[in-house]
Structure 1
Amino acid sequence: MPATGSVERDAEFTAFMRGASASLSRTAWLLCGDAEQAGELVQAALVKTYLAWSRARSGDPLAYARRVLVNLNIDRFRRNRTVPTPTMEAVEASDPHGRVDDHDQASRMLAELPTQQRRVIVLRYYLDLPEAEVARTLGISLGSVKSAASRGLATLRSRFVLVGEGDSDERAR
């Protein structure tokens, strides 16, 4: 029979997992650009967070799990040295109901950024973390966060203008 503390710990972690899984899944997908790998990253991050639950829950458990997720993604990248870029065909294949929209375009543009810029943009602007927290999470300097964010946003803006100009021509017809 499990100890009462173990049951309470499991219930507490289960509640955390239910509340954090969607956010971690979005973050993982934005970081790696592949739904299957994102699912594996989230699962591995949750396992590691569970194993360190006493430490994770003493602070901000979501920040702890997010840090684990980012580190696992960095490790995966270092092992493979490749980052898949979602193609339109892959997005359409994963969306049998044809609901491809601006979010998909933004995600594809994001996936084309260099790895560090993508990580910074995801953590800073998608998750709305302060620059200092992004630096801590990624283990880089505050200046590196600012530089990567500036370059990444400039690239996204230039690509969005090109995409947006094509859309405005169609709307004018």
Structure 2
Amino acid sequence: MQTTDWEEEFREYVTTRGPALLRAANQLTGHPLDAEDLLQNALTKTYQAWGRIEDRRALDGYVRRAMVNINISQWRRRKVEEYPSGDELPEVVAASEAAPSGEVHERLEEALRELPERMRAAIVLRYYEDMTEPEIARTLGISVGTVKSTVSRAMGKLRTALGLPG
């Protein structure tokens, strides 16, 4: 079976950008297996639209937007939202006892995974994707005020999880 030029171009894109896109998917979902599924679904949509995407420099943005949209659709299909029970609250570490800088990234990733989905998505869109509050509101289908309060509460939870002052 022969592959066309665009199929080879797509394959090369996935090979080159796959790891970075998987990290973004993991930040959105908080779970490695869910991240793989999310990325696979987004790449399927990208493959289907490949011929219509004129600006190849915008591919990462296209795939990331697809991941966000798919992730949001999955939340909306769920009947029950998941929230931490509070039974196993993380131990608060004083700022002076904070982890060395090499561990901070791992602790931040863990703290992100512990956030409820909407909070995690708002933080990822705001600080990883550098979206404005109105863009986040449109993407998540919520008001700008809800974005502000969600990001604020999420940042508070992250500070607490990392043992930083409020």
Fold conserved between structures, TM > 0.5: yes
Is the CA contact 1:41–1:72 (under 8 Å) kept in the aligned structure 2? yes
More helix as a share of residues: 1
Residue equivalent to 1:151: 153
Residue equivalent to 2:129: 127
Separation (CA, whole Å) in 1 of partners of 2:55 and 2:131? 20
Separation (CA, whole Å) in 1 of partners of 2:83 and 2:45? 25
Separation (CA, whole Å) in 1 of partners of 2:76 and 2:128? 24
Question: What is the alpha-carbon root mean square deviation over aligned residues?
Answer: 3.1
Which residue identity is paired with 2:22? S
Residue equivalent to 1:96: none
Identity percentage over the alignment? 40
Which piece of structure 1 moves more, 15-24 or 119-128? 15-24
Equivalenced residues, count: 147
Residue equivalent to 1:113: 115
Pick aligned residue for 1:72 from 70, 73, 76: 70
Is the CA contact 1:32–1:84 (under 8 Å) kept in the aligned structure 2? no
Which has the higher relative contact order, 1 or 2, with Cα contacts under 8 A spaced 6 or more apart? 2
Separation (CA, whole Å) in 1 of partners of 2:116 and 2:83? 12
> 1:80-138: CA deviations, max 9, x gaps?
446598xxxxxxxxxxxxxx933332122112222211101112212334444434443
Q: Which runs of 4+ in 1 moved over 6 A?
A: none
Residue equivalent to 1:13: 10
When residues 36 and 104 of structure 1 are mapped into structure 2, their CA distance, relative to the original with a 3 A threshold, is same
State the SS of the aligned residue for 2:130.
coil
Is the CA contact 2:136–2:147 (under 8 Å) kept in the aligned structure 1? yes
Separation (CA, whole Å) in 1 of partners of 2:145 and 2:8? 40
Residue equivalent to 2:95: none
Pick aligned residue for 2:47 from 25, 47, 50: 50
Is the CA contact 2:42–2:63 (under 8 Å) kept in the aligned structure 1? yes
State the shift of 1:151 in Å. 2.1
| TM-score normalised according to structure 2 size | 0.69
Separation (CA, whole Å) in 1 of partners of 2:52 and 2:138? 17
Which structure 1 residue ranges, 5 or more long, are not aligned? Answer: 86-99, 165-173
When residues 23 and 42 of structure 1 are mapped into structure 2, their CA distance, relative to the original with a 3 A threshold, is same
When residues 18 and 134 of structure 1 are mapped into structure 2, their CA distance, relative to the original with a 3 A threshold, is farther
When residues 112 and 23 of structure 1 are mapped into structure 2, their CA distance, relative to the original with a 3 A threshold, is same
Pick aligned residue for 2:29 from 14, 17, 32: 32
Which structure 2 residue ranges, 5 or more long, are not aligned? Answer: 85-101
When residues 140 and 79 of structure 1 are mapped into structure 2, their CA distance, relative to the original with a 3 A threshold, is closer
When residues 110 and 104 of structure 1 are mapped into structure 2, their CA distance, relative to the original with a 3 A threshold, is same
